[in-house]
Chain A
Amino acid sequence: METFNNPKPVLHLLLLPCLLLYSSIAFSSSVEAAMHTNNWAVLVCTSRFWFNYRHMANTLSLYRTVKRLGIPDERIILMLADDMACNTRNKYPAQVFNNENHRLNLYGDNVEVDYRGYEVTVENFLRVLTGRHETAVPRSKRLLSDEGSHILLYMTGHGGDEFLKFQDSEELQSHDLADAVKQMKEKHRFKELLIMVDTCQAATLFNQLQSPGVLAIGSSMKGENSYSHHLDSDVGVSVVDRFTYYTLAFFERLNIYDNASLSSLFSSYNPSWLMSTAYYRKGVYKRSLEEVPVTTFFGSVMETIHTDAAYKALSRRNSGKFEAQTSLDQSVHHSERRTPVKVNDRDETHNINPEGQEGASKCPWSTFCNKFLKAENVDSLVNYGLVAMVPFLMISMWLVR
């Protein structure tokens, strides 16, 4: 290593300002974190047993909705604590309905359940959120979000004052959830997060939440119960909860191009229909709800950025990608894997070095150019160019005359 380093002290000196420049750019972009990159959904049904049919139906209905609105299957983590479709008590084997008219089978061919049965535990749930998995866990079971991700977290089951029951045996408490969200924030795992909970006393689950960029809505306030919407006398169980039913009713009217805002969704919950008070908590969520379309969370609608030049904005993209990759690596890192990651870093810096060197040799003109590029003033660059053209034009005119 030393032999490698020693012959080129001058080169290092040359390199230093460029690296500083580069890192300052990267830092500024990570603080900004403005770009919305992708949408994720984590849908959790936490209760077992046949008589909790409706919780699975809730979750599957939401799954269908977010899929319809454009979140692909690989970005949906679906956790179902029990398999109602194959329960022996199910009159319609391998089918799940959320309405007594039985028009829509929620358990069709293309349902990908990531965590099922006894895999749905508080531990696994927190692992999914924070991204601390065993090495053997496949990518399809991980929440591979980045700092530009919008995440929808939907949970249903039986809850109480500041807790949510998992599997009839353990419970997720409000500070567990808050802690997980805080970790996610610190690991840049999301840009915006919507937590939607349909349980009894759901609002109490958000009591400890403090992280910025987190919106939360619960089906009922403290001391209130969330009720089921209706009973399917053919299947013999209640098939959907009220809160979820009216959420779905809201989304049934929408398609991917609609611009309905989150506030219109939140105000659509009528306490007399729900028989409970839907409560949302804005916390440190900066944007005004009227301006946020529901598809921010319930669909995958990207913001289109208009650029004049096809490739000019590339450098910025590159930096973003690089950040995403490192954050991804962080989320997976283990002591065994740390060394290869480091090596990768060095490779990358090495790869970048020649470019930097080139840039340094072309100074000062290229740095000037770079500055312009990095200042993202493409238009002004063009303008400056045009202005610079004027003397040339005048000189050439003068010569011709």
Chain B
Amino acid sequence: MSKILLPNTKLFINNEWVESISGKKFKTFNPVNEELICEVSEGDKADVDIAVKAARNALENGEWGKMTSEDRGRIILKFANLIEKHKDNLAILETLDNGKPLTASKGYDITQSEKTLRYFGGWADKIQGKTIPISNEYTSMTRHEPIGVVALIVAWNYPCMLLCWKLGPALAAGCTIVAKPSEFTPLTALYLCDLIKEAGFPPGVFNLVNGFGSTVGNALSHHMDIDKISFTGSTITGRLIMEGAAKSNLKPVTLELGGKSPNIFFNDCDVNHIAKCAKDYVFSNSMQSCCAPTRFFVQENIYEAFLQIFTEKIKQLKVGDPYDNDTHLGPLVSKQQHDRVLGYIEKGKSEGATCHLGGGNYHHADGKGYFVQPTIFTNVTDNMTICKEEIFGPVVVILPFKTVDEVIKRANDSTYGLAAGIWTKDISLALNVSNKLKSGSVWINEYYSIMPSIPFGGYKQSGIGRDLSEYAIQSYLSIKAVTISHKTLYAQQN
């Protein structure tokens, strides 16, 4: 394995690395062996204030607000190119901090980060308003202006990628940013800071304050001079963010929260095919994904065959060292998550579900690290805890169903509504079911069909607003309607 380049670990404000005011630091650990990676500067409210001032200044007085939209797009593209150039370093760092297999960091996380920025770089000079026909006496138009200084708070499951998902539209729209990565996974965001400076973003356009939710996150959501906040994380924290926004200055809020996404397989499926596909995606990222396919609904005619083939395939998945190219599941990100997931597994057993495969800790190497076995539960009822609550670990429940109407009802019976999968050869069935599912994304004959140009986000308590696509840009804009009355010329003309 090549040498790991650790980034600077201070705060990043005005394109400079600065100590936090308190001088405090927090630790980030390697989830493979529980060892300390390094210490990172810990920010607090005072640092947030400085960062916001820098972002405000950059927006109102600096080059960013004055440059052409084409130039803005060029800088974003340069940033994408730099990410591509530093892909290996970023991937290694992501795996070190988060534990996800290196093949995934490189082939998915960092690749998607670069593609997303490339996509949004192309939007920068295409953000158009409308002119609206009223009558000869008026010229009315809408201007789409950057909403201003935005706070971006990102989760630990896809640290680099989720930050780039938000940076793309925010920068394309002309906003300036104060970002807070997760305290569990700050390293790739820190690495990006140097690339941001090298790409040519003026000082203050992007600022980074590491720290904890209760301090930095809280300061951001309550800040009186932040114009918008975008958050990816748990539903519980999402509520706090929204509350903080409401209590302070009513800043608009985009929330990308949890899910309990259904994956529905109909009788006409080729069982071998769907089982093979499922093996490739189901336990991705150890199912630490907001839109993980955690409830498999399999129609009764194919249930037994599917369960058998699927289980055999899952047994082939390798848990272990994320730097090994053959590994499918690395460790979970932290002890907290590890214990939480094991707790859910126990709950599943105690509530009477059958632990069909896995069901506990995975002993890797000397027993250190936060590993969990890929786990399958059967004989689950809809009201069991493991069927209702988001586990955020490698646990999937498999439930049989009889009819279309029944599965739609059961799939929708959730406070969440992030994603859903539908597997069938019948076009009418596919489209009818997708119409009726209360889900922000519906994927047909595939799962995780996530791309920079497709909007991503949730119904119900899975969130508010959308990441990615043109739709995401809307949330980083303010609409100004300008109406000019020119009634008087007609009088003058005669």
A, B bound: no
